[in-house]
A and B are shown apart, each in its own frame.
Chain A
Amino acid sequence: MSSQEIPEEKYLPSEQGDAHHGGVAVADDPFADPGLPVHKPRIQDIDERAARRSERTVAFLFTLSMLATIGFIASYVIFPVDKIVYIFPIGKVSALNFSLGMTLGTALFCIGAGAVHWARTLMSDVEVAAERHEIAAPPEVKAQVLQDFADGARESGIGRRPLIRNTMIGALAMLPLSAVVIMRDLGPLPEDKLRKTIWAKGKLLINDNTDEPLRPEDVLVGSLTFARPEGLDEHAHDFQTQIAKAALMIVRIQPDDIKDKQELAWSHDGIVAYSKICTHVGCPISLYEQQTHHVLCPCHQSTFDLSDGARVIFGPAGHALPQLRIGVNDEGFLEALGDFEEPVGPAFWERG
């Protein structure tokens, strides 16, 4: 049952290694274990003065580390946060950041360097072989374990009482179901949140820069404007959730240059409003080239042609950018004529 029964000598680093020292007649057996090489002393092992020197070096490194730590604390106290100094060749840097980094780096490096130097020059460097013991257990141990198992099974009577055995299996199999049911509490179901944004008929397009509603004459050909829906308060608790879906980019294209009929019909006099969320993995996308009308996504280089229904012309995106139908209300402001017709952002399982 226990390893005590096995002769101890087998596990210890044996003296065999030493027997090999001094070389083996290779000619007899070319694959013979050459054993460990002859131990050679270091200068510190022979010369006491050299050992002292090494000792002093290690102590010096550790002392330097202590001084650097004191320097760290001193820098923290001395330098104000906004003090800027010029340091060649890095440039104008914060004195506090620079001194904290240098002192902490020195403190850590000196501990490491000191420890390495100590280990290499002063600690014992005699090679020690710790041989592995055999993985397989001895036959008597194996027999004992199997016997114990059989005894246990017989004494518990599991083979003779199938009712207990079966109900136990049933109980254990059912138990994880409670964990599965509790998972329902991980969060509300998404419902139609992935399909809907807060854009709705009559909502004005608010300029992100000025917080004023946009008029068609504000948007010039070749310009780029970002808009959000009217009534979306920046301090509302769900602002991020809503703007992440409702963000809009507005450009104006000469109506003659718009190739897609639906795009033209959903625009107002060449002003087109597209979702700013890439349909690949949802990065905000607005690298608009005003001459080609291409929009590039900075994350994975998906490219959309805004003059052709925001068709994907390059990259991994699977869908065209959703377009928002816009018009002009009685007061001459741009307004949405409804929500996006398709889900914005990346595709999801049920999107189809």
Chain B
Amino acid sequence: MKKLSARRRHPLAAVVVLLFALAATGGLYAAFAPAGKAQADETAQSLAIEEGKKLYAVGCASCHGTGGQGSSDGPSLVGVGSAAVDFQVSTGRMPAQQPGAQVPKKPAIYSQEQIDQLAAYIASLGAGPITPTGKQYDPAGADIANGGVLFRNNCAQCHNFTGEGGALTNGKYAPNLEDVSPKHIYEAMLTGPQNMPSFPDSTMPEKQKKDIIAYLQNVNGEKSTSPGGLKLGGLGPVSEGLFGWIFGLGALIAVAVWVAAHTAKAKKS
């Protein structure tokens, strides 16, 4: 203290005091004025909507209408929510290459930032399912067995028992779920893309969706195993039976023919 009081008349003392005062004022302001941050968020949000609107006008409006009201070429996007936009655009399904029975998955053409802007704009048109956060779809710790029960009850009729996919009517199909990220599986269940029915939280709660994702990762993910080996696409007993009849019996017949065709005689006749 003695040292400090000795220098209180130093020419730079006033400057130091001033600096301390400024820092304290700024710190206090930052601590007691969180409203400013919210303000900034809202601005970012409206900026995103503005940017999204521009992207929409260029990439989407020709089919979905200038205000998302839909046209003969594309459905209305009012109320589909940001989750639907995130699913459709980040799996590359939208923008669609051409009309047809079903729009296939392809590499995404927008960056995640642009997708978020588009989603913000579409969400501003009407309330709908919101893009899930990592916490919502992370399958860690979920009940895999229960997920299997739910998957077989709700999903397996179209996507097959382990999510290998299957055919529907008139060229439509349920896609293979092998390389689909947990976020996209969650969004698909929430929003029901194309002809897939939705499974909203009111009839299938968030926890059950996690269980289903955990089940899929267990049976049809990168780390999943195939204890029997050679699962032949995992399509079930029909393909396995066909394989047995054609290749199994075929090999037996081929061996029998080969044995009979090769003479054991010393002199070939």
Contacts and interface: CB of A to CB of B under 8 A. Distances in A.
B183 interface: no
Contacts of A98: 229
A223 B169 contact: no
Contacts of A40: 265-267, 269
Contact of A90 (B200, B229, B269): B229
B34 interface: no
B203 interface: yes
B66 interface: no
How many residues of B sit at the interface, in one of the four size bands? 35 or more
A223 B199 CA distance: 6
B197 A87 contact: no
Contacts of B257: none
Contacts of B100: none
Interface residues of A, number: 50
Q: Identify whether the interface residues of A are mostly helix, strand, loop, or mixed.
A: mixed
B215 to A, nearest CB: 14
Nearest to B146: A209
A222 B197 contact: yes
A116 B264 CA distance: 11
A42 B226 contact: no
Contacts of A298: 157, 166
A224 B264 CA distance: 67
Given A84-B227, A209-B150, A314 B166 contact: no
Interface stretch (A28-36, A167-175, A282-290): A282-290
B46 to A, nearest CB: 29
B265 A41 contact: yes
Interface string A288-314: 111110101010010100000000001
B181 interface: no
Interface stretch (A7-15, A67-75, A211-219, A344-352): A211-219
Nearest to B262: A120
B199 A92 contact: no
A224 B199 contact: yes
B264 A290 contact: no
A217 B201 CA distance: 11
A251 B154 CA distance: 13
Contacts, number: 114
A93 B157 contact: no
B95 interface: no
Interface in B195-250: 195-200, 202-205, 208, 224-230
B266 A43 contact: yes
A83 to B, nearest CB: 10
Given A218-B203, A222-B198, A292-B195, A87 B229 contact: yes
A303 B205 contact: no
Nearest to A220: B200
B203 A290 contact: no
A286 B158 CA distance: 8
A208 B152 CA distance: 12
A94 interface: yes
A120 B208 CA distance: 64
Contacts of A186: none
Contact of B200 (A43, A223, A303, A314): A223
Nearest to B266: A43
Given A223-B192, A223-B198, A294-B169, 8 more contacts: A44-B264, A94-B227, A97-B227, A218-B202, A219-B202, A284-B157, A290-B197, A296-B169
27 contacts: A40-B265, A41-B266, A42-B265, A45-B266, A97-B229, A120-B264, A125-B264, A219-B202, A222-B197, A223-B192, A223-B197, A223-B203, A224-B199, A225-B199, A226-B153, A284-B157, A285-B157, A287-B158, A287-B174, A289-B168, A289-B172, A289-B195, A290-B195, A292-B195, A294-B169, A303-B169, A314-B169
Interface pairs A-B: 8 shortest CB-CB: A224-B197, A94-B227, A93-B229, A218-B202, A289-B195, A90-B229, A92-B225, A43-B266
Interface of A: 40-46, 84, 87, 90-94, 97-98, 116, 120-121, 125, 207-210, 214, 217-220, 222-226, 251, 284-292, 294, 296, 298, 301, 303, 314
Interface of B: 150, 153-154, 157-158, 166, 168-169, 172, 174, 192, 194-200, 202-205, 208, 224-230, 259, 264-267, 269
